[in-house]
Amino acid sequence: MDIKEQDQMYIAHTYHRFDAVLTKGSHCIAMDADGKSYLDMTAGIGVNALGYADKEWAKAVSEQANTLPHVSNLYYSQPDGDVAKMLCERTGFKKVMFANSGAEANEGAIKLARKYSYDHYGKERYEIITLVNSFHGRTITTLAATGQAAFHQYFDPFTPGFLHVPVNDEAALKQALSKHTCAIMIELIQGEGGVLPLAKAYVQTIAKLCKQQDILLIVDEVQTGVGRCGTLYAYEQYDIQPDIVTTAKGLGNGLPIGGVLMNEKLQDTFHPGDHGTTFGGNPIACAGARVVLQRLDADFLQEVMDKGEYLKQQLVSLPHIKAVNGLGLMRGAVLDEHVQAVDVVKACLQKGLLILTAKDKLRMLPPLVITKGEIDQAMTILREVLSTMG
Ligand SMILES: Cc1ncc(COP(=O)(O)O)c(C=O)c1O
């Protein structure tokens, strides 16, 4: 049976698929079943940090698969401890709790925050403030955290205890704070919401309020983290110290992994039995993550920053692009009223370029290893496409 037919027949359709059957990839190039190649500016929605089939990553993952693929959390093993150590040493966080996806990491962060508040202030302090237009995942609780009504249709009732306040509005935030507030949870750049960075002063006010009132600051770095924005985590560029950071996507480089990084205040909050997941800290995923973190040294991150600036400069010079937002290699292009982002994405696909949308923006999350030459190639195709539109 043809791959598309099989997909149509057997896969539950929670996604629209573009008309390409991808069969293999190398570095920043994906190939389809007919041998057509695509320059990839999506990295599997911010996952393939080292591109497709990175040799060192693939070797580490296969060696681990051939020795100890899974043990469960009942026994010690090397890779999860190594990854946790690397994350803690590089960030100053004290402990890491592993999960299998961004949503699951956020669930863990929410539970951690509530447990801390329960222990210190009693069960009335449970409320979590998040932002309008945020995206935190698709489970019932992370959807409750997500400040977008469109995702809330059909799935009531949600986990109670979430409040959404408008972005960059300090007065609204202060008004929302109460004796029930346990945590404030933010993305520093709203990725799915349209690649919209929060104002630095606003983020610093949030951090200050949290510190003053012992409210926990949770930063969701599922999309912005692991070098995507040119620093290991984007919060470094906002000069704040969150209490909790969640991470996923790029850490896995193609394998499912998530993590909750917690500071000193939280490190002893959970006890055995309070939380868990069978696959969390899986040795294969962690063997791969270890390679990702090793690769993302200071020089690598500086290159991401430089290439991100270069990408931005190229994008602003293209027709129909009014502005470019984001940091590092997480970029959103604001289009004028003559073109629709989804039409641009479809036309680019025809010409061998994979890009994303985020709401009405064009979004680019290329593999972090992309070269300036490849950025030029992508921009040539995008210019051709945009020139024929509107
Ligand atoms: C900021 C943010 N949080 C959470 C998630 C959910 O991650 P996952 O799809 O791995 O559950 C995403 C996914 O796009 C995200 O961008």
For residue 344, the model assigns a pLDDT of 98
Nearest atom (ligand 1) to Cα of 256: 10
Which residues in the chain come in under a pLDDT of 50?
A: none
| C-alpha dihedral (205, 325, 247, 68), degrees to nearest 10 | -160
DSSP SS3 for 205: helix
How many angstroms does the Cα of residue 218 sit away from the middle of ligand 1?
A: 14
Ligand 1 close to Cβ of residue 134 (< 6 A): no
For residue 247, the model assigns a pLDDT of 99
176 known member of a binding site: no
How many angstroms does the Cα of residue 104 sit away from the middle of ligand 1?
A: 9
Ligand 1 close to Cβ of residue 137 (< 6 A): yes
Domains and CATH numbers, the chain: 3-53+298-387 (3.90.1150.10), 68-295 (3.40.640.10)
Q: What is the DSSP letter of 168?
A: T
- Asked if 46 and 365 touch (Cβ cutoff 8 Å), the reply is yes
How many angstroms does the Cα of residue 135 sit away from the middle of ligand 1?
A: 7
Report DSSP letters for 277-342, one per residue. Answer: -TTTT-HHHHHHHHHHHHH--HHHHHHHHHHHHHHHHHHHTSTTEEEEEEETTEEEEEE-TT--HH
- Asked if 100 and 277 touch (Cβ cutoff 8 Å), the reply is yes
- Asked if 113 and 183 touch (Cβ cutoff 8 Å), the reply is yes
220 known member of a binding site: yes
Phi-psi region of 182 (alpha: psi -120 to 50; beta: other; left: phi over 0): alpha
> Which residue's alpha carbon is nearest to atom 9 within ligand 1?
102
Ligand 1 close to Cβ of residue 91 (< 6 A): no
Phi and psi dihedrals of 179, rounded to 5? -65, -10
Beta-strand ranges (E) seen in the chain are 22-26, 29-32, 37-40, 95-99, 127-131, 162-165, 181-186, 189-190, 196-197, 216-220, 244-247, 258-262, 321-327, 330-335, 353-354, 356-358, 361-364
Beta-ladder partners of 181 = 127
d(Cα 178, Cα 180) in Å, to the nearest integer? 5
Ligand 1 close to Cβ of residue 250 (< 6 A): no
Ligand 1 close to Cβ of residue 108 (< 6 A): no
91 known member of a binding site: no
Nearest atom (ligand 1) to Cα of 46: 14
- Asked if 82 and 286 touch (Cβ cutoff 8 Å), the reply is yes
Ligand 1 close to Cβ of residue 192 (< 6 A): yes
Amino acid at site 280: G
For residue 99, the model assigns a pLDDT of 98
Ligand 1 close to Cβ of residue 191 (< 6 A): yes
DSSP SS3 for 350: helix
> Which residue's alpha carbon is nearest to atom 3 within ligand 1?
136
Distances in whole angstroms, Cα of residue 26 to Cα of each of 38, 222, 370 = 11, 24, 11
Q: Give the model confidence (pLDDT) of 108-129 as tens digits.
A: 999 999 999 999 999 999 999 9
Amino acid at site 305: M
Ligand 1 close to Cβ of residue 101 (< 6 A): yes
- Asked if 53 and 254 touch (Cβ cutoff 8 Å), the reply is no
Ligand 1 close to Cβ of residue 303 (< 6 A): no
Ligand 1 close to Cβ of residue 100 (< 6 A): no
DSSP SS3 for 30: strand
For residue 304, the model assigns a pLDDT of 98
Nearest atom (ligand 1) to Cα of 190: 1
Helix %, strand %, coil % for the chain, to 5?
40, 20, 40
Ligand 1 close to Cβ of residue 102 (< 6 A): yes
* b/e 9-34 (16+ beta carbons within 10 angstroms → b): eeeeeeeeeeebebeebebbbbbbee
How many angstroms does the Cα of residue 107 sit away from the middle of ligand 1?
A: 11
DSSP SS3 for 184: strand
Ligand 1 close to Cβ of residue 218 (< 6 A): no
Structure tokens at 187: 């993305």
Q: What is the DSSP letter of 234?
A: G
d(Cα 40, Cα 56) in Å, to the nearest integer? 20
For residue 1, the model assigns a pLDDT of 85
Nearest atom (ligand 1) to Cα of 224: 1
How many angstroms does the Cα of residue 47 sit away from the middle of ligand 1?
A: 11
Nearest atom (ligand 1) to Cα of 249: 10
- Asked if 225 and 188 touch (Cβ cutoff 8 Å), the reply is no
For residue 390, the model assigns a pLDDT of 81
